[in-house]
Amino acid sequence: MTTLSWVLLGIIFVLVVAVVFSQKGASAARVDASP
């Protein structure tokens, strides 16, 4: 695989992790952020 392919896979992986975290950990994150 080329470097560009690895970069694209990395970007996709980060996006997927961000979406999953925002969906499953949104309430927990809000609780942690609240004073």
Q: What is the pTM of this model?
A: 0.55
pLDDT value of position 33: 56
Q: Which residue has the tokens 């560009």?
A: 4
Residue 8's identity, in one-letter code, is L
The pLDDT, as a whole number, for residue 7 is 96
pLDDT at 22: 79
pLDDT for 8: 96
Domain interval for residue 23: 3-33
- Give the count of domains, the chain: 1
**Cα 21-6-8 angle, rounded to 5 deg:** 60
pLDDT tens track of the chain, all 35 residues?
799 999 999 999 999 988 888 777 666 656 565 55
